[in-house]
Structure 1
Amino acid sequence: MPDNRFFLLPADGSRPAPAPSWAMVKATAEDTQGRFTLLEVHGEVELPEHVHDVADEFVYVIDGGLDVDIHRTTHHLTAGMCLMVPRGVPHAIRTPVAPARALHLLSPGAARIEGDATGEEWGEVDRGYVLARGEARPGRIPVPPAFSVKARAADTGGLFSLLEVTVAQPIPRHTHHVADECVYVLDGALEIDFGGRTHTAGKGQFVLLPHGQPHALRPGSAPPPRVVQISAPGGWEHVVEALIEHRTEVSKAGRFDPAALNRYTRPHHVTYVAEAGSALTTGRERPRR
């Protein structure tokens, strides 16, 4: 049976779930099959010191600023910065001056990590980190700023990866056979071919593309859209590294070659398809009859 979890939220939209007054729910644990919950912080926040027993917390600042207190150190986060707080680490979050807008991800969304009930020490401070604007997590090879890796699968126990991506060229129809793909648009417009329709996601919109369902992506604005891309479970950074390593083979004249892509993405459970008359050749998806 096809997975029907696809949804596209408007910029000010929220999933039907309880939320604090300072947040909108972009994805629930049920939406993501328990891998994460995603909130969009908006306005003023004052969260006193607290601890998540079973969830890592990842914060990406879109606008304004947030202060995060961890172990008597205050981290001042401004637009484009992000922070990982491992489960079990006490911390407090607040807006220092102006209202803030940020993505606030908790993972796992509604499930204990194996081993949590054994009495092990929860706080793993050495897994925490702060990234400045433009900074990325180190990987197997350097990747360009257009594919900035903010959280790797190794950082999140494999539950998700998070990248800041500029979608500068069309991405052919493809299927993620294991991981869901979730996209939050930071700037510009992203066109998405899914389920026989072309959808346009603008600034502040969020889309969930369930695994096993083919889709294509392309820029719908100039300059091209800039997005936060979440893969759950994680590992998308390995695909990016493989494509960068073989970029002269997989992309020619600003277009991806699906056959060449598959040589490097199939081991990571992603396959691409070239279809005559589809978005790959016409730039638009033909409606299903």
Structure 2
Amino acid sequence: MTGLFVPPGQGDDTSAAALQITFKVTGDRSRHTTVYETVVAPGFDVGAHLHHNLEECFYILDGEIEVFAFDPVEADGQHWSGWESADGRRPVRAGAGSCVFVPPGCPHAFRNNADTPARLFQTASPAPFHELYLKAMSEALATNPNISPEELARLREAHDIHQLTPLKYPG
């Protein structure tokens, strides 16, 4: 049995809209967790969503994102930045060193409102489900950069991503 060492700048690169993703550990190496680094472009908003079977962890390496991970009292369906939980939690600005854990079934989202990219270290468990989605989305956007919101929603739903607000990315 051998472990895996991935040097800086190495991994399986893909991109999806305004996300540059470098997979460090994928489902072909781990039954448990997909590990990847993500560069989030300014203006990107993943949209509020939830997963029934997937848990995620986000660790901000550089930059800043706005993020939430809670059940909102009222979800308007347009934008999540004004949402609030029953105990008063609201979306927060998360900078370098911040960590966000999202259990299955928990609504969550992140966006980059800054003028500079944000860099995240992410995990998704179990492997390989989220990596399959990210690769499918990357391929779909490469094939059709003007993919309709409905097509994108269908792709996400097929990968256990249940949208509450739309994904938005800079053109």
Check conservation: 1:188, 1:220, Cα contact below 8 A. no
- Residue matched to 1:219: 112
Q: Is residue 141 of structure 2 the alignment partner of residue 247 of structure 1?
A: yes
Gaps of 5+ in 2: 71-83, 85-89
- Residue matched to 1:231: 124
How far the C-alpha of 1:176 sits from its partner, in A, is: 1.4
Q: Distance in 1 between matches of 2:148 and 2:36?
A: 23
Give the alignment's TM-score, normalised by structure 2.
Answer: 0.73
Q: Is residue 22 of structure 2 the alignment partner of residue 151 of structure 1?
A: no
Structure 2 CA distance for partners of 1:172 and 1:147, relative to 1, 3 Å = same
SS at match of 2:5: strand
Within the candidate set 52, 55, 63, 1:180 is matched to: 55
How far the C-alpha of 1:193 sits from its partner, in A, is: 3.1
How far the C-alpha of 1:173 sits from its partner, in A, is: 1.3
Letter in 2 for 1:262: A
Check conservation: 1:251, 1:257, Cα contact below 8 A. no
Give aligned-pair identity as a percent.
26
Q: Please show how residues 121-200 of structure 1 align to structure 2 within 5 Å.
A: 124-125=1-2, 128-137=3-12, 143-144=14-15, 146-157=20-31, 159-168=32-41, 169-195=44-70, 196=84, 197-200=90-93
Give aligned pairs, total. Answer: 144
SS at match of 2:109: strand
Q: Distance in 1 between matches of 2:91 and 2:145?
A: 24
Structure 2 CA distance for partners of 1:223 and 1:199, relative to 1, 3 Å = same
- Residue matched to 2:150: 259
Q: Please show how residues 93-132 of structure 1 align to structure 2 within 5 Å.
A: 124-125=1-2, 128-132=3-7
How far the C-alpha of 1:172 sits from its partner, in A, is: 1.1
Q: Which runs of 4+ in 1 moved over 6 A?
A: none
Check conservation: 1:190, 1:218, Cα contact below 8 A. yes
Q: Distance in 2 between matches of 1:199 and 1:258?
A: 26
More strand by share: 1
Give the alignment's TM-score, normalised by structure 1.
Answer: 0.45
Give the RMSD, CA atoms, in angstroms.
Answer: 2.5
Structure 2 CA distance for partners of 1:184 and 1:247, relative to 1, 3 Å = same
Gaps of 5+ in 1: 1-123, 281-289
